[in-house]
Amino acid sequence: MALTLYNTLTRSVSDFEPIASGEVSIYLCGATVQSSPHIGHIRSAINFDLLRRWLEQGHGYRVTFVRNVTDIDDKILTNAVKEDMPWWALAMKYEREFNSAYAALNCIPPTYEPRATGHITQMIEMMQRLIDRGHAYAPGNGDVYLEVRSLEKYLSLSGQKLDDLQPASDSDQPSELKIKKDPRDFALWKSAKPGEPSWPTPWGAGRPGWHLECSAMAHQYLGETFDIHCGGLDLIFPHHENEIAQSNAAGYGFAKRWLHNAWVTTSGEKMSKSLGNSLRVHEILKDTRAVELRWYLLSAHYRSMLEYSPTYLQEAATGYRRIENFLQRAEELVGTTANTSTFPEAFRAALDDDLGISQALAVLADTVRLGNSAIATGDQEKVRQTMNEVRSMLNVLGCDPLEGPWQTNQQNLNGVVDALVGVVLEQRNSARARKDYQAADEIRDGLAAAGIHLEDAAGNTRWSLKRGSE
């Protein structure tokens, strides 16, 4: 079955065919490192980590994945003043926090992770090209603007009309409006202001505009045309629209397909710092396992809004723990299976349909039920088969407890718990041997209260973790 993906540009789902056979090139708008990451930021990273994993594991593509870091912009400069530290130190501080969150939630590191400040040369070259082609101008004050009315096409991604637009958001000063050919012309380069960082250019010292950064970096690492550009829904306008405008004006094809993930909402509102409803990743991870947070953030289709609440997170975590419990029981019966990327056809069909995660998770749940039935009947071959399929599916989702960052933690936890439970079971067996059944029952009930389930069979006692509601 062919892989189909949505394209924001055409507003339709269509077959995906890469530019180069066997290879896929992806650019993801990464973090603007102005403050700590919240789960809205990380949802985007996880959604497109799934895309990358499915391209690689499900279809065998070699993926070049670029995720940029915007380490200079107005918000970074503003927050640096608030936190009383140099702008570059603030940017580095929060870049590290983002990278820690990506790693904690098992996002595969990008092939390249360019910083905006490391690509000023490429930005200057692109601006010169745009000026030479008659699509940009420098009014003489150090600014450089893209002339939007010089473009053959503009606003094709958002479907807006140029004359309906307000002045570009970088035109907050009346003096800036006066020097523009059109108030909707947006800044490629902003002239230096006292106390702000700046870099020299032929048109004067200053710093890059937000949109120029991504066009220059995408061109540097992926060439004139690449397969997929990803990002959040809120980036369609003006950011992605302006990326297209300046890249096309420079003579580049840019992205063939655009994928946008929807927001995480709280009480129906987009999660954002301005609304004061941001949930920082590091705060959630104090009370929630990283794998459970990843599982929750994957639970809705990438183009659907995901409503956050502690209750919804706990419900998702409980579902994941049922899968962990199956794998634990299966491993005890047949040992650890190799991960061979063996997917049920229904799972493959689901992800091939624009990453249909709901259907894919339903297949996973059905496979776990089959595996539990096989454990109950002692059908080791069926247990082995279903265990392998479950692990293959979980690996694509980045949630296999026997792989990646979860493996060591799980092994360590199991070893400690096994040793402790073993000591307690010796006490229980001793109580039963002397027919002190009350003491034996009290030990059993105490373990149950701690989340440990005992099964007595054939003169032997086995234990398992009751991972949430079964």
In the chain, where are the structural domains located?
4-270, 319-402, 405-465
What gap in Å lies between CA 150 and CA 109, rounded to an integer?
A: 39
Strands 264-266 and 186-191 turn out to be unpaired
Q: Which two tokens stand for residue 232?
A: 């959040």
* pLDDT value for 448: 84
* pLDDT value for 469: 38
Strands 225-232 and 23-28 turn out to be parallel
* pLDDT value for 456: 79
* pLDDT value for 275: 66
Strands 206-208 and 186-191 turn out to be antiparallel
List the CATH code of the domain at 4-270. Answer: 3.40.50.620
Fold assignment, 319-402: Four Helix Bundle (Hemerythrin (Met), subunit A) (1.20.120)
* pLDDT value for 185: 96
* pLDDT value for 466: 58
Coil, strand or helix at 331: helix
Write out the chain's pLDDT in tens, 470 residues.
799 999 999 999 999 999 999 999 999 999 999 999 999 999 999 999 999 999 999 999 999 999 999 999 999 999 999 999 999 999 999 999 999 999 999 999 999 999 999 999 999 999 999 999 999 999 999 999 999 999 989 999 999 999 999 998 775 566 666 799 999 999 999 999 999 999 999 999 999 998 999 999 999 999 999 999 999 999 999 999 999 999 999 999 999 999 999 999 988 888 776 667 679 999 999 999 999 999 999 999 999 999 999 999 999 999 999 999 999 999 999 988 776 778 999 999 999 999 999 999 999 999 999 999 999 999 999 999 999 999 999 999 999 999 878 875 554 555 556 667 777 888 888 888 888 888 888 888 888 887 787 877 666 787 776 544 34
Tokens 């049920």 map to which residue?
344
Number of residues that make up the chain = 470
Query: Which pTM does this prediction carry?
Result: 0.86
Domains 4-270 and 319-402 share a fold: no
What gap in Å lies between CA 353 and CA 144, rounded to an integer?
A: 43
